[in-house]
A and B are shown apart, each in its own frame.
Chain A
Amino acid sequence: MQRNRSKSVYVICPAFNEARTIAGVLAGLAGQGYEIVVVDDGSSDGTRRVAETMATTVISHPVNLGQGAALKTGIDYALSRGAEFIVTFDTDGQHRPSDIPRLLDALVRERADFALGSRFLGGAQRTPVLRRLLLRAATLFTAVTTGLRLTDTHNGLRAFTRRGAAALRLRQDRMAHASEILAEIARSRLRYVEVPVTIDYTEYSLAKGQRAGDFVMILLDLFAHKLRR
């Protein structure tokens, strides 16, 4: 069962200048039967070269477009290849490959189309206080704007069924994509479920992660998106 299911599981790994961590991340994902798709988002540090030796497929953006654009590129590719399940997985080393089967099992068990990882249901190593507050604020914002009741709204570890992924209309290239995905999940009216996952914070992942000022830009992006048809 696990073996057959893994055949159509595509793990999308957006990467921008992750040469330092991507080899370890891809090594952790290898050997599980997943189709590993790295979307190199215009890296200049050799990320692509490392990925090409380890991933099933590497798609390279000619210029840096943003994580949201990279995810959409990977999702579109996976759908075009007949993926039944699509997982999004960050390449900064904060996610654990062992959480993926739990997400996939939740999709099947709960008959859901979206399984969203939550660090607050599971474990997060050394969650900084400011980050915890910002994430709580984002959770409240999501509840107000989309009606989704979630405990963690900016977790890059997610799993979609084919139907769920096809229902997402993603246009946010950069940081606002996480909020846009949730808005699209709400719009689709398809079933979603939260699954406990563990986030391993490192100095590297914290440095590459979002900062307080980024949330202002996310709000601006979402606002600007609403203004234009």
Chain B
Amino acid sequence: MIAQALLSVLLGGVLVYAWAEYRRSPLVGALSIVAGLAGLYFVWMPSHSTLVAEFVGIGRGVDLILYLWVCISLTVMLNLHLKLRAQQETITKLARSIATANLAAAQEAPAVTAEEAPKPAPPAADAHTSRQMRGQSA
């Protein structure tokens, strides 16, 4: 009974997590809800797990539970992967903003005169591009 209560609390936590995730990722949320509900059902009706296990050809109920737990773990891993992707998108936006801000700052910087330039003036074609790098024309 104690084990059942503890497992119920844990699986209840999984359901709360799944409900919260459902808004962000419906598929992951739905999979987690199904896995959590199945876990709760088998915790309180352990004999049914053996029946279901035999029906699907697994053999023992405990193996079925183990497989379900693996499914839950994989679902959580998938969700973590999706969250990492979402974070990467945020980093991309930040990096892009920094890159364009740096470019704007460089273009607004005062032009370097020929006398101040550390290197000799480039050939005609390059002179055009170098000048634009300093923002004197677009």
Task: Say whether A and B bind each other.
Answer: yes
Is B48 interfacial (CB 8 A cutoff)? no
Q: Does A52 contact B (CB under 8 A)?
A: yes
The answer to whether A228 touches B85 (Cβ under 8 A) is: yes
Q: Is A96 an interface residue (CB 8 A)?
A: no
How far apart are A98's CB and chain B's nearest CB, in angstroms? Answer: 17
Which chain A residues border B133 with CB–CB below 8 Å? Answer: 52, 55-58
A60 touches B102 (CB 8 A): yes
Closest-CB distance, B99 to chain A (whole angstroms): 5
Residues of chain A lying within 8 A (CB to CB) of residue B27: 227
Q: A53-B130, A60-B102, A81-B138 are in contact. Are A173 and B82 (CB under 8 A)?
A: no
Are the CB atoms of A56 and B82 closer together than 8 Å? Answer: no
Contact B103 A173 (CB under 8 A): no
The interface size bin for chain B is: 20 to 34
Q: How close is B28's CB to chain A, nearest CB, in angstroms?
A: 7
Q: Contacts A53-B122, A61-B99, A73-B99 given: A227-B28 contact, CB under 8 Å?
A: yes
A213 at the interface (CB under 8 A from B): no
A126 cross-chain contacts in B, Cβ below 8 A: none
B132 near A62: Cβ-Cβ < 8 Å: no
- Taken residue by residue from 95 to 138, chain B's Cβ proximity to chain A (1 for < 8 Å, 0 otherwise) reads as 11011101100000000000000000010011001101100001
Q: Which of A52, A171, A224 counts the most chain B CB atoms within 10 A?
A: A224
Select one of B24, B85, B102 contacting A224, CB under 8 A.
B85
Show the binding face of A for B, using Cβ within 8 Å: 30-31, 35-36, 39, 52-63, 65, 69, 72-73, 76-77, 81, 171, 173, 224-225, 227-229
B81, CB-defined interface residue at 8 Å: yes
Which listed residue (A52, A54, A58, A229) contacts B24, Cβ 8 A?
Answer: A229
Determine if A59 and B95 form an interchain contact, defined as CB atoms under 8 angstroms apart. Answer: no
Q: Which residues of B contact A229 (CB under 8 A)?
A: 24-26
Q: In the bound complex, how far is the Cα of B138 from the Cα of A73, in angstroms?
A: 17
Q: Compute how far the CA of A159 lies from the CA of B89 in the bound complex, rounded to whole angstroms.
A: 25
CB distance from A183 to the nearest CB of B (A): 17
B92's contact among A31, A173, A225, by CB below 8 Å, is which? A173
Enumerate the 3 nearest inter-chain pairs by beta-carbon distance, A residue then B residue, closest first. A228-B82, A56-B132, A69-B92
Contacts A62-B95, A228-B25; is A53 near B82 (CB within 8 Å)? no
Among B18-65, those with CB < 8 Å from A are: 24-28
Contacts of A53 in B (CB 8 A): 122, 126, 129-130
